[in-house]
Amino acid sequence: MRWLGYVVRRLLMAVLVLVSVSIVTFVIARVIPSDPAAAWVGPHPTPAQIAKAREELALDRPLYEQYLRYVTALLRGDFGTSVKSHQPISRDLRNYLPATMELVLAAMLVAVVVGVPLGVLSGARKGSLFDHLTRLASVAGVSVPTFWLALLLQLLFFAKLRLLPLGSRISNELALYNPIRQITGMYTLDSILTGNWAGLRDTLVHLILPALTLATYPIGLAIRMTRSTMLEVLSERYILAARAAGISERAILFVLALKNAIIPTITVLGLSFVYSLTGAMLVEVIFSWPGLGTYLTDAVLNIDFPVIVTVTLVVTVFYVVVNLILDLVQAALDPRVTLR
Amino acid sequence: MRANRTLYLAVALSLVALLTVQCTGKPQPTAPSVTSAPVAQPTVAEQPTAAESGRAGIFVYAHGTQFPDLDPAKSYSNDSVVMSNCYETLTFYNPPGSEEILSPKLATSWEANEDATEWVFHLRQGVKFHDGEPFNAEAVRFSISNTKALGIGAAYIWDPVEEMEVIDDYTIKFKLSYPAPLDLIASSGYAAWIYSPKSYQEKGSDWFQQGHCAGTGPYIIESYEPGSRLVMTRNESYWGGWRPGQFEKVVFEISQDPVVLQQKIEAGTADFTYGIPPDNEEVIRNTRKDIVVYTNPSFQNLVGLLNTRKPPLDNVKVRQALCYSFPYEQFISAVMGERATQARGVVPVGMWGHGDDLFQYTYDLEKAKQLLAEAGYPNGGFKLTMTYSSGDMDEQQLGEVWKAELAKLGIDLEVQGMNWDAQWQLGKSDPLKAQDIFVMYWWPDYISPYSFLYSMFHSEDEILFNLCYYSNPEYDRLIDEANEVAGTDREKAAQMFIDAQKILLDDAVSLFFYDVSNTHLARADIKGYVDNPAYPHVVFVYDLTREP
């Protein structure tokens, strides 16, 4: 039962965090010199239109009242309306969030599958050529600018080799003749659920380049973290004991050592997952991926304050939840960690 | 440590090698865009033509921005590229060079009374909306009154309309509260769409925004994935009928990265695009036979509104000196290339009311010096602030070039890039504390010189877009009168608008830097494309065919 109390306490804290984040973003977004009423009307508004919009949007009310209105609506599940597009933000989120989730999850999967084993082997063979190459790869992974890599991959795989598409989530042909029926908004999942195998193939083909680009950074992270903790763990005496007991090297590395070495890696990958939700903006733009990053960037450029506040809140929720999960996973994996 | 050093050397070498691979070949122009560092080389690989790849009947438009609002009553943005293919207006503004300014669309003919306060439109018969409802006078009345009542976007263009009377199914009469050119207003690419009353009332704005349409146009929205793609299909019962060779489907693909747009048109996966890095446009123009680069004057221009209230620019001589201090020709040839022509007056070239013989300020520092001396500033000695919309590379370069020129006159120009909202808020504040020079683009909603001459220069009680804070009753009267006769005697109105521009040029209330030209790229097998600056970036796909 110690878990339950812990989770409740953490969730209560989370509410506090959310309230503060919403106040800060709301105030910042509203004190920047801008006129949301004019933006609501359009590029060439008349004074009469602005006055009408100001009243309709309650922008003539004091700031604290506007905030309260916003929050009460939020509690009712109403995320507000975009000033620029006049669309309910909840609908936009339903479009953009799954797209980003699909991309980021794919990238994280690649990072774990590629990064962790490389880190383990690199740690196990410290000083070997393999270790040097892997470390080189990890440095490159975290330092190569994603937009540069993205363009390079496009040039190679689209323009020269004609192997992979330039961007977007599915091809025009699929959209025209075999569209994916949307259930979750994650096309890989939706095409499996609806048995649209052509759709699955098309989606995966479109995922490769953006997911690979987005994965380079977490791959680098995973290699470095896993390698350094592996080095530490491998010098422990229980490993020596295991070796003495004749347990196979593979089992030692990937079961005994990795179980203790994986925790920091999971933590950094978890945080980089949340960061990527909006931080994948450049990758999204270059691969024409309709995601949360581009959505937020557009909103910031247009000072579309309801969107800015809402997206910030959504990402904060993810941060809080992912952090909580990470802590719980840590506790599950490592009995020395106590939940307080 | 030795091993480490060897390692770093290896890293450095491989990076250099990678970069060399990137940079060999022809030197490529760099583009002024964050994400466009490596410029895609023209691909020479064998490419399947659109016809071979089985999409002969599909027109693909690679578009650089999203479509914010697809509600025909509210849309006032780039979404007009979609709207223009599924909705229609009563009248149509013809491309420059046509004999008549307007041609019939949903209205077949129209007439006004002598003072242009009553208009009667005769409507096309046998037209149906996409939802099967008949197009008639009642639909026109509903669309316009609904758009007007919502008051969003360009809805203000209908401001003069006081009353609409349905005379019979195919005749509608407008009573105006003041004289106005309603035939021009009805041709607007924003807020003038006629849509089905039934769909709008039953399904509401939301349904339209989710990617549906109920207009009379040749194409119907079939599916929409916000932020990525919109697909349209033929309206089989279109009143204009269908000829062989016209496109079956239209796909708008959204890609925000200009280099990606370029790759798409180069690879032939898209048929049409715009907004790729300007230097690359030139490369394509000169090296590619399979892509046609269209450059045409737009109805958009760049102005530098001078603060006529705040010293020293409250002195007309100082303002005139500024007008002589900008190197128009040099800037356009060095920076803008084909993308601009020096403006002559306020109304852009190609639009009615543009004065071919209007006075044009030229770059003449001697004259500027002399005017400054006459104004009491023989060696300059003052500071000015110019604001522009940050992120616009052209405006920024313009500011830097101008700063250098003004320094020669002893004037210190502070060039300040601001977010548009912030720039505009400052402009709308107290003129005595606001900027000295406000640089911005203007473009019209419906095609009339009045949009330019009224919005930016007519006296305003509350500052909106008259950001030179100019107030001249004689000028106001002239353009108001011109707008009143515009509905009945367009030639006379044009002359009056030209006269009004003379006043602005004499008073030197603004610099008119240049008229912007738009560049569009189309695959060479696309035939029938005509740029129409009244409907910016719109492709009327109905007019096109693919002919290898």
Last residue of a domain, one of A28, A43, A75: A75
Is residue B413 within 8 A of residue B304, CB to CB? The reply is no
- Lowest-confidence segment of A291-295, A326-330, B47-51, B224-228 by average pLDDT: B47-51
Alpha-carbon distance of B210 to B71, in angstroms, equals 9
Q: Answer whether A33 sits within 8 Å of B264, measured CB to CB.
A: no
On whether residue A82 sits in a domain, the answer given is no
Which residues of chain A neighbour B257 with C-beta distances below 8 Å?
285-286, 288
Nearest CA in chain B to A179: B223
- Residue with more model confidence, A257 or B387: B387
**Helix spans in B152-303 (H):** 182-185, 197-209, 258-267, 278-287
Query: What's A179's DSSP letter?
Result: P
Which residues of chain B neighbour A91 with C-beta distances below 8 Å?
210
- Which residues, listed in sequence order, are joined to residue B120 by a DSSP beta bridge? B111, B173
Pairing type for strands B382-389 and B437-442 reads: parallel
Asked whether residue A58 falls in the same domain as residue A171, the answer is no
Q: Which domain holds residue A246?
A: 95-333
What percent of chain A lies above the pLDDT cut of 70? 99
Tokens of A57: 């949007």
On whether residue A85 sits in a domain, the answer given is no
Q: Does A131 touch chain B (CB under 8 A)?
A: no
Minimal Cα–Cα distance from A211 to chain B, Å?
17
**Helix spans in B268-359 (H):** 278-287, 316-325, 328-331
Q: Answer whether B226 sits within 8 Å of A92, measured CB to CB.
A: yes
Asked whether residue A180 falls in the same domain as residue A43, the answer is no
Query: Which of A41, A49, A286 is the closest to B35 by Cβ?
Result: A286
Sorted by sequence, the CB contacts under 8 Å of residue A231 that are 6+ apart come out as A123, A126
What per-residue confidence (pLDDT) applies to B43? 40
On whether residue A84 sits in a domain, the answer given is no
Domains of chain B: 58-63+218-292+523-546 (3.40.190.10), 80-207 (3.90.76.10), 299-518 (3.10.105.10)
The whole-number average pLDDT for the span A209-234 is: 93
What per-residue confidence (pLDDT) applies to A326? 85
Minimal Cα–Cα distance from A176 to chain B, Å?
7
On whether residue A323 sits in a domain, the answer given is yes
On whether residue A175 sits in a domain, the answer given is yes
Give chain A's largest Cα–Cα span: 85
With a cut of 60, say whether residue B22 has pLDDT above it.
no
What per-residue confidence (pLDDT) applies to B30? 35
- Lowest-confidence segment of A233-247, B27-41, B132-146 by average pLDDT: B27-41
Is residue A305 within 8 A of residue A83, CB to CB? The reply is yes
What's the pLDDT tens digit per position in A170-192?
998 898 888 899 899 999 999 99
- Contact pairs from chain A to chain B, CB under 8 Å: 174
Asked whether residue A115 falls in the same domain as residue A233, the answer is yes
Mutate to test the interface with B, among A35, A57, A85 (most CBs of B within 10 A): A85
Minimal Cα–Cα distance from B197 to chain A, Å?
21
- CA A104 to chain CA centroid, Å, is 5
Asked whether residue A71 falls in the same domain as residue A100, the answer is no
Asked whether residue A325 falls in the same domain as residue A237, the answer is yes
The whole-number average pLDDT for the span A47-70 is: 90
Q: Which of B304, B519, B500, B309 is nearest to B395 (CA)?
A: B304
With a cut of 50, say whether residue B32 has pLDDT above it.
no
With a cut of 90, say whether residue B215 has pLDDT above it.
yes
- Residue with more model confidence, B121 or A300: B121
On whether residue A100 sits in a domain, the answer given is yes
Q: Answer whether A151 sits within 8 Å of B37, measured CB to CB.
A: yes
Mean pLDDT of the residues in chain B: 90
Q: Answer whether B228 sits within 8 Å of A52, measured CB to CB.
A: no
Query: Which of A47, A88, A290 is the closest to B227 by Cβ?
Result: A290
Residue B23's pLDDT band (cuts 50, 70, 90): very low
What per-residue confidence (pLDDT) applies to B10? 47
The whole-number average pLDDT for the span B217-245 is: 95
What per-residue confidence (pLDDT) applies to A250? 87
Instruction: State pTM to two decimals.
Output: 0.87
If you search the block for the tokens 């952090």, which residue do you land on? Answer: A323
Using DSSP's 3-state secondary structure scheme, residue A296 falls into helix
Q: Answer whether A303 sits within 8 Å of B55, measured CB to CB.
A: no
Q: Answer whether A34 sits within 8 Å of B152, measured CB to CB.
A: no
On whether residue A220 sits in a domain, the answer given is yes
Strand extents, DSSP E, B307-447: 340-342, 382-389, 411-418, 437-442
With a cut of 70, say whether residue B33 has pLDDT above it.
no
Q: Does A95 touch chain B (CB under 8 A)?
A: yes
On whether residue A89 sits in a domain, the answer given is no
Asked whether residue A68 falls in the same domain as residue A156, the answer is no
With a cut of 90, say whether residue B451 has pLDDT above it.
yes
With a cut of 90, say whether residue A205 has pLDDT above it.
yes
- Distance (Å) of CA B192 to CA A173, B95, B199, B406, B445: 33, 18, 17, 45, 10
Nearest CA in chain B to A85: B68
With a cut of 70, say whether residue B502 has pLDDT above it.
yes
Stretch (H or E) spanning B100: none
Tokens of B320: 């005139």
Backbone φ and ψ for A249, nearest 5 degrees, come out as -60, -40
What percent of chain B lies above the pLDDT cut of 90? 83
Nearest CA in chain B to A42: B153
Task: Count structural domains, chain A.
Answer: 2
Alpha-carbon distance of A110 to A118, in angstroms, equals 12
Which residues of chain B neighbour A169 with C-beta distances below 8 Å?
225, 228
Minimal Cα–Cα distance from A104 to chain B, Å?
18
Residue A330's pLDDT band (cuts 50, 70, 90): confident
Q: Which of B547, B447, B539, B546 is nearest to B217 (CA)?
A: B539
Asked whether residue A149 falls in the same domain as residue A51, the answer is no
With a cut of 80, say whether residue B49 has pLDDT above it.
no
The whole-number average pLDDT for the span B36-51 is: 45
With a cut of 70, say whether residue B2 has pLDDT above it.
no
With a cut of 50, say whether residue B44 has pLDDT above it.
no
Is residue B301 within 8 A of residue B348, CB to CB? The reply is yes
Asked whether residue A100 falls in the same domain as residue A70, the answer is no
Residue B54's pLDDT band (cuts 50, 70, 90): low
What per-residue confidence (pLDDT) applies to B362? 96
Query: What's B246's DSSP letter?
Result: B
**Helix pair B473-485, B490-507: axis angle to 10 deg:** 160
Q: Answer whether A175 sits within 8 Å of B229, measured CB to CB.
A: yes
What percent of chain B lies above the pLDDT cut of 70? 90
Asked whether residue A130 falls in the same domain as residue A215, the answer is yes
Which residues of chain A neighbour B58 with C-beta distances below 8 Å?
172, 176
Q: Answer whether A86 sits within 8 Å of B152, measured CB to CB.
A: yes
Asked whether residue A270 falls in the same domain as residue A171, the answer is yes
Q: Answer whether A167 sits within 8 Å of B71, measured CB to CB.
A: no
Residue B481's pLDDT band (cuts 50, 70, 90): very high
Pairing type for strands B58-63 and B249-254 reads: parallel
Is residue B312 within 8 A of residue B322, CB to CB? The reply is no
Which residues of chain B neighbour A156 with C-beta distances below 8 Å?
none
Strand extents, DSSP E, B390-547: 411-418, 437-442, 510-523, 526-527, 545-546
Alpha-carbon distance of B127 to B196, in angstroms, equals 11
What's the pLDDT tens digit per position in A117-167?
999 999 989 899 999 999 999 999 999 998 899 999 999 999 889 899 998
With a cut of 80, say whether residue A1 has pLDDT above it.
no
Asked whether residue A54 falls in the same domain as residue A175, the answer is no
Asked whether residue A217 falls in the same domain as residue A294, the answer is yes
Mutate to test the interface with A, among B23, B229, B234, B418 (most CBs of A within 10 A): B229
CATH classification of the domain holding A207: 1.10.3720.10
